[in-house]
Amino acid sequence: MSTKTIAGVEVSVNEEGYMEDASQWTKEIAAEIAKEEGIELNDKHFEVIDFIRNKVAAGDTLTIRGIGKSGVVNAKEFYQLFPGAPLKKATKISGVPKPTSCI
């Protein structure tokens, strides 16, 4: 575990850059992480991020399929919002641990 300054805040991150403490997360931190990932956040991104943070807080497992059936976005939209590796990028930006289903 190491620390990184994101949006002017010292946060604990793991070796892959995922935040270790979700309580340190802010929308400003999310925007800066997203920028590093080549994504500019909009309201739809934040709807997905809120969904992810709530699911993780409830102890639920995250999957692309589950997010696609969430009613927030469908799978195609999810890939468009977070291109490349949507679940990895979305969870990183959301300040939650990388899902175990992600390699």
- Residues marked as catalytic: 102
Helices (H), the chain: 27-36, 43-57, 64-68, 75-81, 86-94
For helices 27-36 and 43-57, the axis angle rounded to 10 degrees is 110
Backbone angles phi, psi at 13, to 5 degrees: -130, 155
**DSSP 8-class letter at 20:** S
